[in-house]
Structure 1
């Protein structure tokens, strides 16, 4: 059997990535909903539809600073008490319109008032409109008079006026379940009279790095030592998704210490992510501990060889009496980051009730010919750009998926299917769009 045939036979024994993700995500459920104060709801996902209890605006109001008037008094000049004088262009016959100012209204005014023909009120933006007013003349279109005002330019009827319920009548569907609560949505909820909403809580995600060789950041790696980049990167990645992420640091390859640490973390976690120890070597303690059979039962976590490049070994299951989900990622940094994208990130989104759970993707034209290992679904760092005439182009970054510098530079992950061994320049490939917040 040739080396190529050996590789293909080995790939055929791997679980397709789509099948594996489906089996894992079907075991997860969104976290129970919470009724949160509006000030705490930002960043969470709505657990139910939200309907406006009150109209917005709540009453007829001025949209600009100026003078609230009857348009028939300034637009036609037929109203009683209206005075005309030679003036600037913009009013009928090029003359100014003169009205009596009978009062001032601010945003805090509450007493109902009514306009009489030939009169107006000085109003601030947000002030309630006097009854009968159907136009607000901006201050800059007048002489800004106090007892009487001359209007140099006549606006259209309805200018400067916001009617009650004009934007959002009571009963309007403001947002559907599954919507992220943004700052603007918080404003909409507050303006329509809502003080709290029912949301899915942000998942609490604990990240654990394992391995005797690991040392903390702030130093260079030495022979026999590897700086722990994974737990820091994965904590940041979990926070980027919207999780409450906690890094607990490094755990040595000590079976009792690892068991105790994971058991302790179940008390404060909705999801635990481990990195390292997913292989079958003598030092791969995570796999050995979490797959150990007890009382004739299989271990709580199943490790699967997935048709994924980089990093084929992934683990998923539950730990502790509370059966907290655990995702086990490889120890190689590039493989850990890709594993997070394809498995942990969708799991966090599902727990949060967010839709869709996967990143958005586009089809893009490849700028250079590349090769890919057969039988594996490869995720390769790339730079994707929009074309002037529409569509996208994608440039794979040097070094492939194992380079941390490529992952840091990428704004997309090019996805090459299991049957792709060569992708020619000019061909079309799928690209996941990474959310790079600058």
Structure 2
């Protein structure tokens, strides 16, 4: 049940409804996950670096590990001639040491041998003589053989040339990642590189999306008279994934209260949040309202907004799983998702930034009209370079094609009935 009293005029504002949702929805409890399963989750611990990265000086090139003094003044005309004492491959144990007048053939990522101060790329040499002289490098993975011979170096090298110094990425004790970080591929890579196999995170919320309506048919099936394809469950499950959730799409439920109640009960086992579309108005077949309002924990209300006036919010099941009931018109359901469901998902994730970015932009294309007392959300395209926004399509809540070509929502406040071309409007960026 809602935590806020119904407004005197019977209409909730957009902000009141959202505040009611966010006051109820709490972050999910942290769990320990393996790295592959932690992608997209929010870190709940500061992670410090246990070992320096890289953990040892290593070569950034295929070439030769040398002493700086031995290649000083080297040129094409007067190359430095060094004795090749062996190979150093990635994973070598450092048993080879480079002395005066010597060089070790070294592969990318291999540890710099004791005595060496720099790496000269193979392109700066004649490729060496003896084993591997044809190319100067042994094929990857091939076991080292007798690498005796000579190499002529045609250019000098400074100390540290082509060497990745120990700790040049991060030092032991550094803060690797802060609590609150969303773990994407780069963050997963860093955790693996410092040896973390598991992390404490808030899991991605499991969101179950279901549409209601006996007229709904799944895409790919034949339409009979009076039927339409179910687009809402596809749109909202995609939107839930985009928000960071694990989404489960349930096929359309017919207009029967008992069937809907049974479906909701069946889905509770895999839901941190339930989202329904359709059946929330005052019609004879508004099944969601009929099925769920009887439980006393789902409140159906009218909002001072367009589209999306009818909304429902509450909880169901023994664990009081949050449920948001959205209107059935495609544009209404999508706008409602962006305004209410997306912030709820991000609150479950434990994120601080719950909302889409908003900017001010100059209106182009045509003037806007809006009913007094309603906050209107219109589809548009935003031009960042020009700081301008252009409406796309009309205000009808069934216009899916216009929605598909929009990348933002234009917001017309409750006390504004018209916006002229050239005036500024608030824009919610969707991309």
Normalization by structure 1: what TM-score? 0.87
Q: Please state how far the C-alpha of 1:317 moved relative to its aligned partner.
A: 0.6
1:229-308 alignment runs, 5 A limit: 229-292=231-294, 299-308=296-305
Q: Please state how far the C-alpha of 1:222 moved relative to its aligned partner.
A: 5.2
Partner of 2:157: 155
Partner of 2:102: 119
Q: Deviations over 1:273-293 (max 9, x none)?
A: 111111122221211332226
Counterpart of 2:176 in 1: which secondary structure?
strand
1:8-407 alignment runs, 5 A limit: 13-75=10-72, 87-88=75-76, 95-146=78-129, 147-219=149-221, 223-292=225-294, 299-368=296-365, 369-387=367-385, 392-400=387-395, 402=397, 403-407=399-403
Q: Please state how far the C-alpha of 1:12 moved relative to its aligned partner.
A: 6.3
| Contact persistence 2:357–2:428 (CA under 8 A) | yes
Q: Deviations over 1:214-249 (max 9, x none)?
A: 333335655543322211221222122222211221
Partner of 1:434: 430
Q: Please state how far the C-alpha of 1:97 moved relative to its aligned partner.
A: 2.1
Q: Please state how far the C-alpha of 1:178 moved relative to its aligned partner.
A: 2.1
Q: Please state how far the C-alpha of 1:27 moved relative to its aligned partner.
A: 0.8
| Contact persistence 2:71–2:155 (CA under 8 A) | no
Aligned pairs, how many? 404
Q: Deviations over 1:258-310 (max 9, x none)?
A: 222111211111111111111122221211332226xxxxx111122112210
Q: Deviations over 1:15-52 (max 9, x none)?
A: 22122211211111111112111122112221222222
Counterpart of 1:218 in 2: which secondary structure?
coil
Q: Aligned pair in 2 of structure 1 residues 107, 300: CA closer, same or farther (>3 Å)?
A: same
Q: Please state how far the C-alpha of 1:128 moved relative to its aligned partner.
A: 0.4
Rounded Cα–Cα distance in structure 2 between residues aligned with 1:18 and 1:175: 33
| Contact persistence 1:209–1:251 (CA under 8 A) | yes
Rounded Cα–Cα distance in structure 2 between residues aligned with 1:252 and 1:243: 26
Rounded Cα–Cα distance in structure 1 between residues aligned with 2:8 and 2:383: 33
Q: Which moved more, 1:54-63 or 1:414-423?
A: 414-423
Q: Please state how far the C-alpha of 1:154 moved relative to its aligned partner.
A: 2.3
Q: Deviations over 1:350-398 (max 9, x none)?
A: 11223411112222222132222222222221111221xxx62211112
Q: Which moved more, 1:217-226 or 1:135-144?
A: 217-226
Normalization by structure 2: what TM-score? 0.88
Rounded Cα–Cα distance in structure 2 between residues aligned with 1:401 and 1:357: 27
Counterpart of 1:338 in 2: which secondary structure?
helix
Q: Please state how far the C-alpha of 1:341 moved relative to its aligned partner.
A: 0.8
Q: Which moved more, 1:361-370 or 1:167-176?
A: 361-370
Counterpart of 1:153 in 2: which secondary structure?
coil
Q: Please state how far the C-alpha of 1:401 moved relative to its aligned partner.
A: 5.7
